[in-house]
């Protein structure tokens, strides 16, 4: 129970800390007289830069979806609702969040290479480390799959209760 509380504390700290850091970054970006993405300034706006901006904004949003559902899942576990509908729904949403994040990040990286003329970076062989899109996509699929396991366990639990 203590480790669960620690886990919940960490996820809460990370969730609110990330939101604050994104808001501060966006605040700095908006306050400057030209458009600013991650410290990079753009004076003229063309469709590629606008798409790049959209994907840069989508990246933290998809990440927050996943982190928010991990937070919800931790709350369910603390309440003792282990094999329940909200738990499996949260697992599925974490999975979709990770999948979306990996797709958005890959497209964002590709657009970044076009905007900054740094050559083609899509699938550039970044496999080592948890930042690789491949790992994030696989992890996402695993969480979606885990939703089924939890539904299975829920059915088992109900059967058990009925027998008793």
Residues contributing to the site for other proteins (CB under 8 A): 3-4, 6-7, 10-11, 13-14, 17-18, 21, 59-60, 63, 67, 70, 77, 82-83, 101, 127-131, 134-138, 141-142, 144-146, 149, 152-153, 156-157, 159-160, 163
Q: Which is nearer to other proteins, 53 or 139 (CB)?
A: 139
Write down the least CB distance from residue 44 to other proteins, Å. 28
Give min distance, CB of 47 to other proteins, in A. 26
What does the radius of gyration of the chain's CA atoms come to, in whole angstroms?
20
In whole angstroms, give the CA distance from residue 68 to residue 1.
21
**Coil, strand or helix at 41:** strand
At 36 the three-state DSSP class reads strand
Which residues make Cβ contacts (< 8 Å) with residue 150, sequence separation at least 6? Answer: 83, 87, 88, 91
Tell the smallest beta-carbon distance from residue 12 to other proteins (Å).
10
Local structure of 152: helix, strand or coil = helix
Q: How far is the CB of 29 from other proteins (least distance, A)?
A: 16
In angstroms, give the least distance from the CB of 95 to other proteins: 9
Cα distances (angstroms) measured from residue 29 to each of 23, 34, 62, 108: 10, 8, 20, 18
Q: Which of 9, 45 has the CB closer to other proteins?
A: 9
Q: Which is nearer to other proteins, 52 or 63 (CB)?
A: 63
- Residue 123's φ and ψ, nearest 5 degrees, are 50, 50
Cβ proximity to other proteins, 17 vs 41, nearer residue: 17
Which CB, 45 or 118, lies closer to other proteins? 118
């Amino acid at each position: 129970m203590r480790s669960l509380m620690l886990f919940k504390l960490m996820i809460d700290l990370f969730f609110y800390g990330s939101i604050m850091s994104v808001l501060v970054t966006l605040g700095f970006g908006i306050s400057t007289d030209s458009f600013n993405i991650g410290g990079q300034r753009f004076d003229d706006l063309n469709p590629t830069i606008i798409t790049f901006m959209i994907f840069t904004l989508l990246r933290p949003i998809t990440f927050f979806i996943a982190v928010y559902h991990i937070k919800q899942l931790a709350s369910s576990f603390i309440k003792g609702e282990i094999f329940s509908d909200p738990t499996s729904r949260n697992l599925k949403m974490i999975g979709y969040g990770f999948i979306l994040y990996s797709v958005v990040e890959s497209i964002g990286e590709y657009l970044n290479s076009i905007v900054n003329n740094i050559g083609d970076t899509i699938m550039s062989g970044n496999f080592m480390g948890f930042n690789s899109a491949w790992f994030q996509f696989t992890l996402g699929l695993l969480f979606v799959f885990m939703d089924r396991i939890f539904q299975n366990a829920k059915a088992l639990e109900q059967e058990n209760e009925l027998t008793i």
